[in-house]
């Protein structure tokens, strides 16, 4: 009996190794690598034009993004990246360091173990069904205990779990011990939309609602994934997310960032990501939150830093917020040349009998 048992085991292990190798490479091929992907669309790099913008005009509430000369154009999504694909069964391609690490662990460590054990158990069961069927084995064994066997089938699974635990805890530690944040964003889940707030940049805030079918097809973006106001973040920076809910439980999730965090009313949850590749990445509310749960998508737009700053200024102008935040320069309409000249004249020429030096400065300030 033991001999047949052992040969069944050998076959099972061989089969499992073969299958996991095939599956692993197939999954890997399906996933485009972040570095190879080009920037999706040309975003206008026009800080000068943005600088020429007038606060008063911006304050009229120009929320429509694509306005010319604003220094920000909505990036077009790249098919197959940051969004689901037709008939896809694998995870979305990871776009953050944590995502890459977790994806590798799943494809090359967990899946081989899972497939091996599953196939081993299946083959073992088939073997028992055939070998010990009533016709082939008319007098069944009366054995009820086998100490050796029982120790083995307790110890081996325990060892397997121990082997899985080591890299799992390392990954968990990396995921929940974020590096120092470059940008902090507060995310609030509402029934049924998301609200975003940038405390680092003077409290820019806006709501994010899904595009309707017509608007989505006109722009060529996925319906029920793209939104009117995307969450815009800088590329290559650590983005810290403070997530909460305003009414019921929601969950902020972007699969390609490997981020999923519950939005709980009365509680602040923390998550983070760092996306190096500029582009658009989609997610959805992932906690059943009511009738329009499926209509509160998430769209994250990663922009090169200069364009992110231009976007920040555009938002600040629209909200009437003075230029503020890391790396944000005061690009408001400068004083007139005459005022500047008046302000510097006293320092350039020693005052002999002209007006007091303080007067032009005061005039310039006014």
Of 285, 300, 302, 318, the one binding Cu ion by CB under 5 A = 285
- Closest separation between CB of residue 41 and Cu ion, Å? 29
String marking each residue 84-123 x if it binds Cu ion according to CB under 5 A: ----------------------------------------
Quote the least distance from Cβ 263 to Cu ion, whole Å: 7
Identify any residues that bridge with 286 across adjacent strands, giving them in sequence order.
Answer: none
Q: Which CB sits closer to Cu ion, 123 or 285?
A: 285
Nearer to Cu ion, 13 or 209 (CB): 209
Nearer to Cu ion, 11 or 195 (CB): 195
Please identify, using beta-carbon distances, which residue of 243 and 289 lies nearer to Cu ion: 289
Residue 249 C-beta: closest distance to Cu ion, Å: 8
Alpha carbons 227 and 210: distance in angstroms, whole number: 4
User: Which of 59, 92, 136, 137 is closest to 254 using CA atoms?
Assistant: 92
- Nearer of residues 196 and 201 to Cu ion, judged by Cβ: 196
Near Cu ion by CB under 5 A, which window of 102-110, 124-132, 137-145, 277-285?
A: 277-285
Q: Which of 123, 261, 271, 289 binds Cu ion (CB under 5 A)?
A: 289
Nearer to Cu ion, 285 or 302 (CB): 285
Residues 130-138: contacts with CB under 8 Å, at least 24 apart: 131/4
In the complex, minimum distance from the CB of residue 125 to Cu ion, in angstroms, rounded to a whole number? 42
Q: How far is CA 214 from CA 219, 280, 283, 309, 318, in A?
A: 9, 20, 20, 30, 26
Per-residue interface string for the shown chain with Cu ion, residues 291-320, x marking contact by CB under 5 A:
-----x------------------------
Size of the site for Cu ion (CB under 5 A): 4
Name beta bridge partners: 259. Answer: 254
Q: For 115-134, b where at least 16 C-beta lie within 10 A, e where not — what string?
A: bbeebbeebeeebeeeeeee
Cα 129 from Cα 61, distance rounded (Å): 73
Q: Give the number of C-alpha atoms closer than 13 A to the C-alpha of residue 165, restricted to the C-beta side.
A: 6
Q: Which of residues 334-363 bind Cu ion (CB under 5 A)?
A: none
Q: How far is the CB of 194 from Cu ion (least distance, A)?
A: 8
Integer Rg of the chain from CA: 30
Question: Nearest distance from residue 189's CB to Cu ion, in Å?
Answer: 5
Minimum CB–partner distance for residue 281 and Cu ion (Å): 18
Pick 239 or 296: Cβ nearer Cu ion:
296
Residue 135 burial by Cβ neighbours in a 10 Å radius (0-12, 13-18, 19+): exposed
CA–CA separation, 222 vs 85, rounded Å?
11
- Of 230 and 250, the one with the shorter C-beta distance to Cu ion is 250
Separation of alpha carbons 325 and 319, rounded Å: 15
Three-state DSSP at 184 gives strand
250-254 and 193-198 beta bridge pairing: unpaired
The piece of 66-74, 156-164, 234-242, 250-258 that touches Cu ion (CB under 5 A) is 250-258
Among 250, 274, 277, 309, contact with Cu ion (rule: CB under 5 A): 250
Does the protein bind Cu ion through residue 243 (CB under 5 A)?
no
C-alpha–C-alpha distance, residues 290 and 246, integer Å: 13
Query: What is the Cα–Cα distance from 258 to 93, expressed in whole angstroms?
Result: 10
Binding site for Cu ion (CB under 5 A): 250, 285, 289, 296
């Amino acid at each position: 009996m033991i001999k047949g048992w052992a040969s069944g085991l050998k076959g099972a292990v061989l089969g499992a190794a073969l299958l996991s190798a095939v599956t692993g490479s197939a999954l890997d091929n399906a996933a485009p690598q972040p570095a190879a992907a080009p920037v999706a669309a040309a975003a206008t790099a026009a800080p000068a034009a943005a600088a020429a913008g007038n606060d008063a005009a911006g304050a009229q509430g120009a929320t429509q993004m694509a306005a010319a000369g604003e220094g920000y154009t909505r990036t077009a999504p790249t098919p197959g990246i940051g969004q689901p694909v037709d008939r896809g069964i694998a995870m979305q391609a990871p776009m953050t360091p944590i995502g890459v690490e977790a994806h590798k662990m799943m494809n090359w460590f967990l899946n081989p173990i899972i497939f091996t054990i599953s196939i081993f158990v299946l083959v073992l069961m088939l073997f028992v069904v055939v070998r010990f069927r009533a016709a082939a084995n008319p007098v069944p064994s009366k054995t009820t205990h086998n100490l050796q066997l029982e120790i083995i089938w307790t110890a081996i699974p325990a060892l397997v779990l121990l082997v899985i635990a080591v890299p799992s805890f390392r990954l968990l530690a990396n995921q929940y011990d974020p590096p120092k944040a470059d940008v902090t964003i507060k995310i609030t889940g509402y029934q049924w939309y998301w609200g975003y707030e940038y405390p680092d940049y003077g409290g820019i805030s806006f709501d994010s609602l899904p595009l309707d079918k017509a608007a989505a097809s006109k722009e060529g973006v996925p319906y029920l994934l793209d939104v009117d106001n995307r969450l815009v973040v800088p590329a290559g920076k650590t983005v810290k997310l403070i997530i909460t809910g305003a009414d019921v439980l929601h969950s902020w999730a972007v699969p390609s960032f490997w981020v999923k965090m519950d939005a709980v009313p009365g509680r602040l949850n923390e998550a983070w990501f760092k996306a190096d590749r500029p582009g658009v990445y989609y997610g959805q509310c992932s906690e059943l939150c009511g009738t329009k749960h499926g209509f509160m998508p998430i769209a994250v737009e990663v922009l090169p830093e200069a364009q992110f700053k231009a976007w920040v200024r555009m938002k600040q102008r629209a909200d009437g917020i003075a230029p503020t935040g890391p790396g944000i320069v005061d690009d408001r309409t400068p004083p007139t040349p005459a005022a500047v000249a008046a302000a510097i004249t006293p320092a350039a020429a020693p005052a002999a009998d002209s007006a007091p030096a303080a007067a032009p400065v005061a005039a310039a300030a006014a």
